Amino acid sequence: MSATEALVAYEGLADRLHLVQAGIADACKSAGRDVSETTLIVVTKFHPASLVRALAELGVTDVGENRHQEAQQKSGELADLDLNWHYIGQLQTKKARQAAQYASAIHSIDRARLVEALAPIDSRLDVFLQINLTDDPGRGGAAPTEIEPLAEQILATETLTLRGVMAVAPLEEAPEAAFARLAGYSERVRALDPAASAISAGMTHDYAAAIAAGATHLRIGSAITGNRPDAR
Ligand SMILES: *Cc1c(COP(=O)(O)O)cnc(C)c1O
């Protein structure tokens, strides 16, 4: 499918993208922030490569994926495009080095073994320390008590650049409260490295609250792509 065919096939995509971009601009204005402080990552998981191509045609530069095999395949298929691929899902230690080959950033660094697995890569990789905002250790993300040791380990790893923190707001809590905690965790990381100031937070239903709490990297999917074809 050519880029033009893809745009025709995904009718409504441009409108939804522009609506979200306007929503981001509004939220930034309310928060007294400049839109240029934010990066919109369009989450394209479960959608075909042709939809990502249509997004690129619309000017999108950053896309997010949460399954390694799917991300690897799509990024390979779209290697002719100059896209930044953000890996935002749970990552198996044994797949980490493969993910580093296509990803410009990995947002889901949540344990020491993952950092160790990424240490021997050939080039530098941007990473975010994912923090679990729930009490359920089964969810992705490091526990808040692990923030300093994990951040120190990343900072001591030459191949990794610590950009900041990442989290998903729990469903069972107001996002404002969850993102306020995240802002506090971000301060703890910045105390170790002032440059690690990014906050990856904010999805379709809570991006305005995330922007109000200082989010810099917004991971927005369904509001732009429409419903996922095979949501799991
Ligand atoms: C799917 C996903 C998103 C985007 O979710 P939407 O509600 O569709 O905007 C953001 N972050 C992560 C980690 C995801 O898995």
For 21, the domain range is 3-225
107 within 8 A of 84, measured Cβ to Cβ: no
> Which atom belonging to ligand 1 lies closest to the Cα atom of 88?
13
Q: For 179-210, write each residue's pLDDT tens digit.
A: 999 999 999 999 999 999 999 999 999 999 99
Alpha carbon nearest to ligand 1 atom 5, residue: 221
> For the chain (length 232 residues), average pLDDT per consecutive 10?
80 96 98 98 97 97 98 98 97 98 98 98 96 94 98 98 98 96 98 98 98 98 88 51
CA of 6 to the centre of ligand 1 (A): 23
pLDDT at 7: 78
Give me the pLDDT at residue 6, please: 78
Decide whether any atom of ligand 1 lies within 6 Å of the 90 Cβ: no
Residue 128 in any domain: the answer is yes
In ligand 1, the atom with minimum distance to the C-alpha of 166 is: 13
Q: Which atom of ligand 1 is nearest to the CA of 43?
A: 4
In ligand 1, the atom with minimum distance to the C-alpha of 203 is 9
The answer to whether position 230 is within a domain reads no
Residue-wise over 206-229: b if at least 16 C-beta within 10 A, else e?
Answer: bbbbbbbbbbbbbbbbbbbbeeee
Nearest to 63, CA basis, from 104, 4, 95, 92: 104
Taking the CA atoms of the chain, what radius of gyration do you get in angstroms? 17
pLDDT at 230: 67
Residue 111 included in any domain: yes
| Per-residue pLDDT at 9 | 79
Mutate to test the pocket of ligand 1, among 19, 40, 51, 66 (most ligand atoms within 8 A of CB): 66
Residue 18 lies in a domain: yes
Ligand 1 proximity of 45 Cβ (cutoff 6 Å) = yes
Q: What is the CATH number of the domain that holds 52?
A: 3.20.20.10
Is residue 159 situated within a structural domain?
yes
User: Does the beta carbon of 221 sit less than 6 angstroms from any atom of ligand 1?
Assistant: yes
Cβ–ligand 1 distance for 220 under 6 Å, the answer yes
Q: Which residues pair with 103 in a beta bridge?
A: 85
> Is residue 75 in some structural domain?
yes
Please tell me the distance between residue 44's alpha carbon and the centre of ligand 1 in angstroms: 9
Indicate the residue type of 110.
D
Specify if 193 maps to a domain: yes
Domain count, the chain: 1
The answer to whether position 231 is within a domain reads: no
pLDDT 10s digits, 76-106: 999 999 999 999 999 999 999 999 999 999 9
